[in-house]
């Protein structure tokens, strides 16, 4: 398929920040003596950052004002980004490959744009992107397709040739249902439903090392009504610290659409 522009989520997709996010709202609510903090944080995950801060102030009286709640949690989030979070392995290489091919890139996120600009500058990633869009400014969260349409329009692309890279189930589903070619970057930090994500994306991957520009261009969606699962199976074989058994590699390779070797993985594939 063509790829003329690309939309990226940030948290859990570019940055390995979901462990931080899975704790920060829970810790904040617990610190303010709110019962059921973990369940509440998960229930309202899709809200934009300021909407979530405002909601907990309005409903539970956290801090003296909406603005105070926002400022208190913003300071905590920025501190944790800079001390607990890193980009995922392979992110910089993949972004560089797209940029060298003159493919414009943009971020759309439920985290405020200024927070992300500061964090991405810290990690040396901001320059890869034309802009950072915030769902709170767009007026729709990622359970709806509007954030992806806004990002597409900012890039001047078309739905059919603008790829979306997401990790959140609600984001994967809404982008894919809106017609965008969608890559799910799967992480299992919070027990996400792998079967659901595979069924709602075009390409399913466990990390950036499994992806390439050539893979995206070579991908073809199954015809509607074909009954095939649209998710693409990719096997990544790395030979370190020790080679996998030839029998295991052979069995998994027969089930995969693509096989990619890294490090000493080529030796393992030849042995299989």
Over residues 186-196, the mean pLDDT reads 82
H/E element, 56: helix 49-60
pLDDT at 222 (0 to 100) = 74
pLDDT higher than threshold 70 for residue 239: no
**Total length of the chain:** 272
- Mean residue pLDDT of the chain comes to 89
pLDDT at 143 (0 to 100) = 93
pLDDT interval class at 220 (50, 70, 90): confident
**CB atoms < 10 A from the CB of 130, how many?**
14
pLDDT at 224 (0 to 100) = 59
pLDDT higher than threshold 80 for residue 242: no
73, 45, 46, 42: which is closest to 57 by C-alpha?
73
Compute the distance between CA of residue 253 and CA of residue 193 in angstroms, rounded to an integer: 23
Highest mean pLDDT: which range of 44-53, 96-105, 257-266: 96-105
Over residues 249-261, the mean pLDDT reads 77
More confident site: 88 or 254: 88
Token pair belonging to 195: 């079967």
pLDDT at 232 (0 to 100) = 67
pLDDT interval class at 227 (50, 70, 90): low
Compute the distance between CA of residue 187 and CA of residue 82 in angstroms, rounded to an integer: 21
Over residues 64-85, the mean pLDDT reads 95
Specify the CATH class of 5-16+86-232 in words: alpha beta
Compute the distance between CA of residue 112 and CA of residue 126 in angstroms, rounded to an integer: 14
């Amino acid at each position: 398929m063509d790829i003329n522009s690309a939309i990226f989520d940030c948290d859990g997709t570019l940055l390995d920040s979901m462990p931080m996010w899975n704790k920060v709202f829970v810790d904040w609510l617990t610190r303010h003596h709110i019962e059921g903090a973990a369940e509440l944080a998960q229930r309202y995950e899709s809200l934009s950052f300021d909407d979530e801060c405002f909601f907990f102030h309005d409903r539970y009286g956290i801090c003296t004002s909406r603005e105070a709640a926002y400022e208190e949690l913003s300071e905590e989030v920025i501190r944790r980004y800079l001390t607990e979070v890193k980009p995922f392995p392979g992110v910089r290489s993949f972004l560089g490959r797209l940029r060298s091919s003159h493919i414009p890139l943009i971020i759309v996120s439920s985290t405020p744009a200024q927070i992300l600009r500061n964090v991405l500058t810290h990690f040396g990633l901001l320059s890869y992107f034309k802009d950072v869009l915030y769902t709170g400014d767009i007026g729709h969260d990622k359970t709806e397709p509007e954030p992806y349409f806004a990002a597409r329009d900012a890039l001047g692309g078309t739905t059919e040739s603008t790829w979306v890279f997401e990790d959140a189930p609600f984001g994967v589903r809404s982008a894919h249902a809106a017609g965008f070619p969608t890559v799910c970057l799967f992480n299992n930090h919070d027990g996400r439903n792998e079967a659901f994500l595979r069924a709602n994306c075009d390409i399913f991957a466990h990390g950036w090392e499994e992806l390439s520009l050539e893979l995206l261009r070579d991908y073809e969606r199954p015809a509607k009504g074909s009954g095939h699962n649209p998710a693409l199976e990719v096997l990544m074989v790395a030979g370190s610290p020790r080679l996998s058994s030839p029998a295991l590699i052979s069995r998994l390779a027969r089930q995969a659409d693509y096989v990619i070797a890294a490090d000493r993985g080529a030796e393992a594939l030849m042995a299989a």
